[in-house]
Amino acid sequence: MHDAFGSELERVGWKYAVELGQGNRSLAVLQAGRRPTLEIDDKYGRLQLRFDDPDPPTYLSVTDVRFFESDQVTIRRDAVNDVARRLRGGVDAYLMLGLARAYRAPNDDRKRHWLQLNGICLADRPVGDRP
């Protein structure tokens, strides 16, 4: 991810961010080198992509509209379960990553541009399509 977003991208707890107004790019498409996990955090009702980094794991918020109902809030569990199963099965994934508008995350002391997953493409077929 540093190759795409530069040295300004830094680890902040379980996520990555760029300081307010910093960085040279805000979007990138990368082939996932490590196998990510797509999961729903039922405690907070959020969809996230997890990488099992040594310590701690990395979590990216998912904003891909194909995983949500038209209200943009309700998670489409069928689509999440399908993609999660395919990722576990070894299907190659291309990740569309982006830096969000700056905001102050809970328990943080300042606004930052947080890294998020804007979209995911799988090599076998599009998200949401059925064979």
Q: Which residue carries 């107004």 as its tokens?
A: 21
CATH of the domain at 75: 2.40.50
Q: Strands, DSSP E only, in 5-44?
A: 10-12, 15-19, 27-31, 37-41
Q: What band does 74 get if pLDDT is binned at 50, 70 and 90?
A: very high
> Rounded mean pLDDT of 17-43?
91
Q: Which domain holds residue 31?
A: 2-122
Residue 48 burial (CB count, 10 A): 20
Tell me the per-residue pLDDT of 15-28, one tens digit each, with 9 for 90 and over. 999 999 888 889 99
Q: Which two tokens stand for residue 16?
A: 């990555």
Q: Which two tokens stand for residue 56?
A: 């701690």
Q: Contact 57/51 with Cβ under 8 angstroms?
A: yes
130 lies in some domain: no
129 lies in some domain: no
10 lies in some domain: yes
Q: CA-based angle 25:95:82, to the nearest 5?
A: 155
CA 96, CA 29: separation in Å to the nearest integer? 4
**Secondary-structure percent of the chain, ordered helix, strand, coil, rounded to 5:** 15, 40, 45
Q: Contact 62/38 with Cβ under 8 angstroms?
A: yes
Number of domains observed in the structure of the chain: 1
pLDDT of residue 54: 74
128 lies in some domain: no
Is the pLDDT score of 131 beyond 60?
Answer: no
127 lies in some domain: no
> Rounded mean pLDDT of 4-24?
91
HSE-CB at 32 with a 13 A cutoff on CA atoms is 25
> Rounded mean pLDDT of 93-120?
94
Q: Which residue carries 């077929």 as its tokens?
A: 125
Contacts of 48-51 with CB under 8 Å at 24 or more apart are 49/95, 49/117, 49/120
47 lies in some domain: yes
